[in-house]
Chains A and B, each alone.
Chain A
Amino acid sequence: MSDITKQSLSELVKNIKGKKLSSSEVTKAFVERSEKSKELNAYITEDYANALNKAKKFDEKPNLDLKLPGIPMAVKDLFCTRDLRTTAGSKILNNFVPTYESTVTQNIWNEGAILMGKLNCDEFAMGSSNETSFFGNVQNPIDKNLVPGGSSGGSSSAVAAQLTPITIGTDTGGSIRQPASFTGTVGLKPTYGSCSRYGIVAFASSLDQAGPMAQNVKDCALLQEVISSYDEKDSTSIDFKRNEYSKELTKDIKGKKIGIPKEYRVDGMPKEIEDLWKKGIEFAKDCGAEIIDISLPHTNYALPTYYIVAPAEASSNLARYDGVKYGFRAEGENLIDMYEKTRSEGFGAEVQRRIMIGTYVLSSGYYDAYYLKAQKVRKLIKNDFDDAYKKVDAILTPSTPSSAFKIGEKTNDPVSMYLNDIFTVPVNLAGLPGISIPAGHDTKGYPLGLQIIGKAFDEQNILNIAYAMEEKINFKNNITDWWIK
Chain B
Amino acid sequence: MSIDLKTIKHISKLSRISVDEKKAEKLAGDLNSIFDFIEKLNELKTDNVEPLTSVAETTLKLRSDEVKSKNLRDQVIKNSPKENEDYFVVPKVIE
Contacts and interface: CB of A to CB of B under 8 A. Distances in A.
A327 B12 contact: no
Contacts of B11: 356, 359-360, 363
Of the listed residues B43, B54, B88, B92, the one surrounded by the most CB atoms of chain A closer than 10 A to its CB is B54
Given A333-B91, A374-B41, A325 B80 contact: yes
B17 A356 contact: yes
B18 interface: yes
B75 interface: yes
A258 interface: no
A482 interface: no
Given A236-B54, A325-B79, A347-B17, A338 B91 contact: yes
Interface stretch (A34-42, A298-306, A465-473): A298-306
Interface residues of A, number: 71
B83 interface: no
B78 A97 contact: yes
Contact of B17 (A334, A355, A372): A355
A380 interface: yes
Contacts of B72: 99
Given A334-B91, A360-B31, A376-B46, A236 B17 contact: no
A213 to B, nearest CB: 23
Nearest to A318: B15
Of the listed residues A236, A356, A374, A375, the one surrounded by the most CB atoms of chain B closer than 10 A to its CB is A356
A32 interface: no
Contact of B91 (A335, A343, A347, A352): A335
Given A97-B79, A193-B58, A380-B49, A338 B41 contact: no
B38 A99 contact: no
Nearest to A207: B55
Given A329-B82, A340-B18, A360-B11, A324 B90 contact: yes
Given A324-B88, A325-B80, A376-B50, A356 B27 contact: yes
Contacts of B33: 413-415
Contact of B34 (A322, A380, A415): A415
Chain B interface size range: 35 or more
Contacts of A352: 15, 17, 27
A328 B41 CA distance: 38
B52 interface: yes
A431 B56 contact: yes
Of the listed residues A100, A193, A304, the one surrounded by the most CB atoms of chain B closer than 10 A to its CB is A304
Given A236-B56, A378-B52, A335 B44 contact: no
A331 to B, nearest CB: 8
A376 B49 contact: yes
Given A235-B60, A375-B53, A380 B44 contact: yes
A193 B80 CA distance: 32
A344 interface: yes
B19 to A, nearest CB: 7
Of the listed residues B18, B31, B37, B63, the one surrounded by the most CB atoms of chain A closer than 10 A to its CB is B18
B6 interface: no
B55 A206 contact: yes
A193 to B, nearest CB: 5
B40 interface: yes
Interface string A93-113: 001110110000000000000
Given A307-B38, A324-B90, A357-B31, A372 B51 contact: yes
Nearest to B75: A99
A179 to B, nearest CB: 23
A382 B55 contact: yes
A353 B27 contact: yes
Given A206-B55, A359-B11, A414 B34 contact: yes
Contacts of A379: 49-52
Interface string A392-434: 0000000000000000000001110010000000000111000
22 contacts: A99-B75, A206-B53, A298-B44, A300-B40, A304-B37, A304-B41, A307-B38, A322-B16, A325-B79, A327-B79, A340-B18, A353-B34, A355-B15, A356-B17, A374-B41, A375-B52, A376-B51, A377-B44, A377-B46, A414-B33, A414-B34, A418-B34
Interface of A: 95-97, 99-100, 192-193, 206, 232, 235-236, 238-239, 298, 300-301, 303-305, 307-308, 315, 319, 322-329, 332-341, 343-344, 347, 352-353, 355-357, 359-360, 363, 370, 372-380, 382, 413-415, 418, 429-431, 456
Top-7 shortest CB links A-B: A431-B55, A326-B79, A375-B51, A99-B75, A376-B46, A340-B18, A329-B81
